[in-house]
Chain A
Amino acid sequence: DADVTQTPRNRITKTGKRIMLECSQTKGHDRMYWYRQDPGLGLQLIYYSFDVKDINKGEISDGYSVSRQAQAKFSLSLESAIPNQTALYFCATSDSSRSVAGNTGELFFGEGSRLTVL
């Protein structure tokens, strides 16, 4: 089983629908992240959380919200999906105890959730 699991892996929805992407991890890491990838744009940070009570906006948080339900679970919601939110979404984790001098250190990624908004 994957250490970082994303569900669903693929989703097609219509404009205006509410969508939730879920991420769970068995790595015991405290930090979790949501990224979005569009062709030619690399990975853009949406939200991140360094523990259950900590939520931070990334570069492109507008139109998204998150919930850190437990240390192992971090979900991303699109309250009213629009076509330009069509993208590949990645969840990632990292372990603050392995960070060097406050660095984030290595991220461990899930396999991605491909979302299409029609």
Chain B
Amino acid sequence: EDKVVQSPLSLVVHEGDTVTLNCSYEVTNFRSLLWYKQEKKAPTFLFMLTSSGIEKKSGRLSSILDKKELFSILNITATQTGDSAIYLCAVPNSGYALNFGKGTSLLVTP
């Protein structure tokens, strides 16, 4: 059975801190891993990772995939209150639809 496990489930940090969010997976025939950010409404796309060891970066957010150890991390440096959100990790199943983890709820306090 395909599994996507995120940790921690929730996290509270102060503005300016750096955070690392984790996503491990077990899927048949891995193709890619995607990260989404969800604020009050619908999730929005952050990154798609397909190759091991290649970092994807967007501003203060970056992500990397380790296909040997079956995990990905999402880093956020110099956190701001606007980074408060649920961060979701997802992996396509054998039918090519995305299976999501439970998410990490991040709260950045002033």
A43 and B41: CB pair below 8 A? no
Please tell me if the beta carbons of A56 and B48 are within 8 angstroms of each other in the complex: no
- Cβ A112 vs Cβ B41 within 8 A: yes
Q: How many residues of A contact B (CB 8 A)?
A: 27
Chain B residue at minimal CB-CB distance from A105: B48
Question: A103 touching B31 by the CB < 8 A rule?
Answer: yes
Chain A contacts with B in 66-90, Cβ cutoff 8 A: 90
Which residues of chain B are within 8 angstroms of A102 by Cβ–Cβ distance? 31, 96
Asked if A48 contacts B95 (CB within 8 A), the reply is: yes
Q: Are A100 and B50 in contact (CB under 8 A)?
A: yes
| Chain A 21-40 interface 0/1 with B at a Cβ cutoff of 8 Å (1 = within) | 00000000000010100001
Q: Does A111 contact B (CB under 8 A)?
A: yes
- Interface size class of chain B, counting residues whose CB lies under 8 Å from the partner chain: 20 to 34
Q: A42-B88, A103-B50, A105-B48 are in contact. Are A111 and B98 (CB under 8 A)?
A: no
A contact face: mostly helix, strand, loop, or mixed: loop
Q: Are B92 and A104 in contact (CB under 8 A)?
A: yes
A-B contact pairs, 27 of them (CB 8 A): A40-B102, A42-B88, A42-B100, A42-B102, A45-B93, A45-B97, A45-B98, A45-B99, A48-B95, A48-B97, A50-B96, A99-B96, A100-B32, A101-B50, A103-B31, A103-B32, A103-B92, A104-B32, A104-B98, A106-B34, A106-B45, A107-B34, A109-B44, A110-B42, A111-B41, A111-B42, A112-B42
Q: CB within 8 Å of B: which residues of A?
A: 33, 35, 40-45, 48, 50, 56, 58-59, 90, 99-107, 109-112
Residues in chain B within 8 A of chain A (CB atoms):
6, 9, 31-32, 34, 36, 41-45, 48, 50, 88, 90, 92-93, 95-103
